Chains A and B, each alone.
Chain A
Amino acid sequence: MLFSPPKSISSEHKDVIHDVAFDHYGRRMATCSSDQFVMVWDKEQGDDNWKKSAEWKAHSGSVWKVAWAHPEFGQVLATCSFDRTAAVWEEIVGESYNIIGQKHWARRTNLVDSRTSVMDVKFAPKSLGLLLATCSADGVIRIYEAPDVMNLAQWTLQQEVPCKYQASCISWNPSYTRERRCTKYFKLNNSDKKEGEMKIHDLDNGYANYPFMVEDPDSYIVVPQVPMLAVGFDDQNCGANNRVVILQNITRLRRWNKTECSTSVTDHCTSSVTDPVHDLAFAPRLGRSYDLLAVATKDIKLYVLCQIMNSSFATVKFKLHLAANFEGHNSTVWRISWNSVGSILVSSGDDRCVRLWKQCPVGPYDKNEEDRGVSSPSKLLDSVQGQGRKYHWKCVGVIKAEGLNI
């Protein structure tokens, strides 16, 4: 069996739960609901049971999202709500236990800049400091910073980026960005390899593992060292080219700029997102030289994102290439999430199923594997051919919400 028996938790939320988030270690869990409450659940040491350790009315409207800060900054949560505010909460250790022994969470700040419902809130990776991004229904993306990480009450609005369409979700690129740009570059095409230049991948020798081909021989790939975040839009009126916007931080200007994304021309699939985007998630980058961005719309689209610098080294732009399209849900997909090592993508959709997706390279023995039915009672649902290398994305598990048949 692939999964343990599901543990149903009586949440006591009085309305629909909109978000659930694990903390950095997976030992705590926060849920938020339209009933305007946030609940925090703790896993007992050596026990698999989740116990509610706190609940409080966080907003005067539906609470859409809840996010944990890196534990380096303390036990800190951010919430955003229909009431047009986002809030930062900190657990007060040691005091203010209420009658039933729950922990006390204090509101450290209330971010009231939005004039419409705040749809998502996310903490930046910790290497950027204590940074918070919000996006609102009027399409304004806001970046807040706590200049003093010890003082959670003080947040400065670093920048507002107006995007005019209703935004729905944010994802920070979790890669280990540092405050400097990479100056080295890799030339992709190996044909005129010069002395001292770094050979990175030889496409002809068959062991290249960029899942795409760069058609422009003058293109260089830059290892991205810039902080980056992606925002998805679920506005009905939004054009297909504006469904996902990527912001990158220009260190020199200390500003967040919208980035021009070019989609690969050799792409056979339609690469632009035409339907409302409900969620998106950058995979943990680990050692890869490109980023994986999963986008939840009518299905799940998986993009390979890399920075391209042209031969004059003047402009850096992003190349977005559709690597896979998962259609297993056959309905709108609402949430997606990567596991910590980026090997599995979980998604939930209107078919009331949670699906797990895993990437498997198509080797010469793939058929064999299929015959033997290794790893799971899996069905080969999506096979996508990326240029240069074949990739299979498999649905390796389905959890049905109704009756929870697994």
Chain B
Amino acid sequence: MLKTIFIAQECPANALALNKDYNKVVIAGRNVFKIFSIEEEEFVEVCNLRVGKNLNLNFSCNDVAWNNIDDHILATAATNGAVVVWNLNRASRSKQEHVFVDHKRTVNKVCFNPVEANWLISGSQDGTMKTFDLRTKEVIKTFFSNTESVRDVQFSPHSHFTFASVSENGNVQLWDMRKTEKCVLQFTAHSGPIFACDWHSEKPCLATASRDKTIKVWDLSGRPLLEHTISTIASVGRIKWRPQSTFHIASVALVVDCTVNVWDVRRPYIPYAAFTKHKDVATGIAWRGSPDVLLTTSRDCTLYQHTFKDAVYPALHSNQKALDISPSGEIAFAFRINAGQSRQNKLAGTSRKPGNEEFWQASSALNVIRRVLNKELDWLLKCAEQYVLAGKPLADICDHNADVARRLGRLAVSLLWTTVKTLYTPRTSDHGHQTPSKEEQVDGEVEGERDNEIRREDDDDLGTRLGDSVGDFFFGDAEMDPLSMDFEINGLDGLISQDWGIPMEAFPLRHEILDRSPPPEQYTAPDSPDSADGEMQGLNLENSLSLKAIGSCKPMSWEAGVTLADALRSHAEQGDVQTPVCILIALGEKRSNLISHIEPVEQETWTFAYLDILSQQRMWLHSNQIIKLSWLPSVSQLNQQSTTVYTGCSYCNKPLTQAGWMCSKCDQSVVCSLCHQVVHGLYAWCQGCMHGGHLTHMKEWIEKKKFCPTGCGHACQYN
């Protein structure tokens, strides 16, 4: 088994070539020219060709080629325009056999004919290609490409008189060696310079690599036909087809990307495999005969032998199972479609190494599924819709909301609303019997069961009485106009007379809760798995305690606020922020003793979380109601942020800076584009062209027409 091995040099190599037995490799660069034998564990230097007294530019190589028949013959393309032939069998230290100095500029590429070992071809920056005969040591023919420069030239493996050349203007030319005057075929392959080309060993296909970051595969059996386009992330410097695999090609980038990529041309978006050892861009690339071993040189001065055992498979890291869930509970998922053999693969286990076939057959099926039964969300939305948070006396609000929750099967929530009602609505009957003195004092002080409220009411005695006296009026008003909530809050205190009318109701009701509380609990658990049965237990426990306390004439020993705060918190802890926020809002002014037990941060977090859910569901009315009613400054500020509407004159487009619709420049008022009358009431206009008019007119117009009624040619947008 071959291993990944490397050797580091002082200088970077520009190219490498393997001998015909694939056991030796030559690397060549500006300041390096060495031959290594490839051993099992390491590269062993066998020969340094960069020797001698006169190390001129002939030793500075752009490219190197190893004769594929005569194992001792090498050729290099020198940066000074020379083509140098080297003979390893020479007895002297210098192996230089012959120097062809026929090119006027740098030689980019040299290539031996695969069949006729004595034929060498070169492609140069001067725009010509020359064939050399190594026996006569003469130029056989010169081919003029009529381009600035030839970047690569490659003999066809299928017909040994044919070679392809690519040039910096993006053209590919196909030549017959016997015809120097004109190329057989020429076509523009890329929009930028082509840096390399490579013939497929079996098919009449040529791959080209360009600065435009693409590798293109051309079928040249007839007219050039673009078969595949691989888009890479950087300019492509070198390419080489992978032996024995029809669709794989290796590429290295000229800049940016240090990885050596192997692509499957049928899946041109992502490399099949990648070798990531190099620290700088790779310069030369060669397959070591087998499809599993690849040698590369790099600008980081190393020579690497890569094996597929150590390859990285980028597609494997990729996530092939897309999934998301929308706020309304829709689930979108896209799974890769498995081809026929996938089942087999599935049975084979979770071996994630891709078979060739599986790799390229890549596509996904996108599906969207709507969850019909989405209890939590339904609860939340229905509650949000149906809850009444203000505009009625607290008792009615609680009753209504408890009813809403009960009908939705949220018994724990329902119970909590009832509890709130019990704790926070004025109730005098029980005290009436037990603490008559207090009742005699002030009939408005029915909330006296909580000490702090007594204090407050003592302070606000006058206010309370005022509220009392005008209570009926405000209440009546509030019923007619549910929006006037501010008054209603005061008005609540004045509603005692109602409770007086049914003095016995409050007390039995509480007992009712007590008696009833176990049964709802039993249903709570199965029906609403997220409901806090444990919490409710605790809550009820406290409730019963409180009753005992009241019974023994110690009403101040228990603070309802603490317990209720705990209850709200426990709901929040379950992820239900709706209940605490709604209860706190519904309580109105009465929340003061409750929120003293809840961190402001918590209150804020709950409210913001609830508002965000409402906004996701686009329940703007409800979220705005929360904002409006909120007691937290940071929340109520939300809809007080300034909104600026920019207006402009429909004649001269000058921004209307002054108030009103009078343009200071045109000295006339903005009129409706359709009826040319001054608009009273709603004026609708397009932000794009400033033209508009009566809302109804514009609506009618935009239903039928796409463009602005003034004829300004703007495709108006009314959102």
Contacts and interface: CB of A to CB of B under 8 A. Distances in A.
Report, nearest first, the 8 A-B pairs whose CB atoms are least far apart. Answer: A287-B572, A26-B326, A17-B364, A17-B334, A207-B538, A360-B529, A365-B525, A22-B326
B575 A287 contact: yes
B34 interface: no
Interface stretch (B102-110, B173-181, B317-325, B449-457): B317-325
Interface in A228-276: 234
Contact of A35 (B269, B369, B375): B269
A20 B334 contact: yes
Which of A35, A341, A368 has most chain B Cβ within 10 Å?
A341
B321 A94 contact: no
A335 B319 CA distance: 8
Given A60-B231, A343-B575, A15 B269 contact: yes
B141 interface: no
Interface in A327-376: 331-332, 334-344, 346-350, 352, 354, 356, 358-361, 363-366, 368-369, 372, 374-376
A223 B599 CA distance: 10
Contact of A94 (B372, B525, B574, B688): B688
Interface string A23-35: 0111001010111
Contacts of A404: 367
A375 B580 contact: no
18 contacts: A14-B269, A15-B364, A17-B334, A19-B322, A22-B332, A26-B327, A34-B267, A94-B688, A207-B534, A223-B601, A286-B609, A289-B573, A334-B320, A340-B377, A341-B376, A343-B376, A348-B323, A375-B529
Contacts of B366: 8-11, 13, 17, 20, 31
B569 interface: yes
B350 A18 contact: no
B322 A18 contact: yes
Contacts of A11: 334, 364-366
B320 A16 contact: yes
A381 interface: no
A182 interface: yes
Interface residues of B, number: 91
Nearest to A279: B319
A196 to B, nearest CB: 12
Nearest to A71: B615
Contacts of A24: 327, 615-616
A168 B267 CA distance: 23
Contacts of B601: 182, 184, 223, 225
A278 interface: yes
Interface in B537-582: 537-538, 562, 566, 569-577, 580
B314 interface: yes
Nearest to A28: B326
B318 A366 contact: no
A11 B336 CA distance: 12
Given A21-B324, A61-B269, A14 B530 contact: no
Contacts, number: 305
A330 to B, nearest CB: 10
B148 interface: no
A346 to B, nearest CB: 5
A18 B318 contact: yes
A331 B321 CA distance: 13
A378 to B, nearest CB: 10
A359 B576 CA distance: 13
Interface in A257-307: 278-279, 284-289
B608 A176 contact: yes
A401 interface: yes
B530 A389 contact: no
Contacts of B233: 60-61, 82-84
A209 interface: yes
Contacts of A62: 269-270, 314, 318
B270 A15 contact: yes
Interface string A56-94: 000011101000000000000000001110000000011
Interface of A: 1-4, 6-11, 13-22, 24-26, 29, 31, 33-36, 48, 50, 60-62, 64, 82-84, 93-95, 97, 117, 119, 127, 137, 166, 168, 175-176, 178, 182, 184, 198-200, 205-207, 209, 223, 225, 234, 278-279, 284-289, 331-332, 334-344, 346-350, 352, 354, 356, 358-361, 363-366, 368-369, 372, 374-376, 389, 397, 399, 401, 404, 406
Contacts of A4: 369-372
B88 interface: no
Given A31-B322, A64-B318, A340-B616, 13 more contacts: A13-B366, A18-B318, A25-B616, A60-B213, A62-B318, A84-B233, A284-B575, A288-B573, A331-B350, A335-B323, A343-B377, A375-B375, A401-B335
B618 interface: yes
A286 B377 CA distance: 14
Contact of A343 (B256, B370, B530, B616): B530
* Majority secondary structure, A binding face: loop
Given A62-B269, A62-B270, A205-B538, A348 B325 contact: no
A232 to B, nearest CB: 12
A6 B368 contact: yes
Contacts of A18: 318-320, 322
Contact of B717 (A35, A94, A127, A336): A94
B365 A15 contact: no
B364 A22 contact: no
B467 to A, nearest CB: 33
A374 B530 CA distance: 13
Which of A31, A349, A401 has most chain B Cβ within 10 Å?
A401
A285 B331 contact: no
A33 B364 contact: yes
Nearest to B571: A287
A363 B412 CA distance: 14
Contact of A341 (B319, B573, B613): B613
Contacts of A368: 525-526
A25 B319 contact: no
B557 to A, nearest CB: 16
Contact of B332 (A13, A29, A369): A29
A368 B535 CA distance: 20
Contact of B327 (A168, A335, A340): A340
A348 B335 contact: yes
B119 interface: no
Interface string B594-626: 000101011011101100110111100000000
A24 B192 CA distance: 42
